[in-house]
Amino acid sequence: MASAPIRSTLANPAPLGLAAFALTTWLLSMINAGWFSADSMGLVLACALAYGGSAQAIAGIMELPRGNSFGATAFLSYGAFWWSFALFVLFLHGQVPAAFVGWYLFLWGVFTFYMWLATFRSPRALQFIFLALWITFALLALGEWTGLSLMRMAGGYMGLVTAALAFYLSAAEVINEVHGRVVLPVGEPRVFSLHAVAL
pLDDT digit of tens for each residue in the chain (199 aa)?
A: 555 444 557 899 999 999 999 999 999 999 999 999 999 999 999 999 999 999 999 999 999 999 999 999 999 999 999 999 999 999 998 899 999 999 999 999 999 999 999 999 999 999 999 999 999 999 999 999 999 999 999 999 999 999 999 999 999 999 999 998 988 889 987 654 444 433 3
Domain that residue 35 falls in:
14-179+189-198
In a domain, 8, yes or no: no
- In the prediction, which pLDDT does 86 show? 97
**Is 32 a member of any domain?**
yes
On whether residue 2 sits in a domain, the answer given is: no
Distance CA 81, CA 91 (A): 15
Q: What is the pLDDT of residue 10?
A: 84
Which pLDDT belongs to residue 182? 84
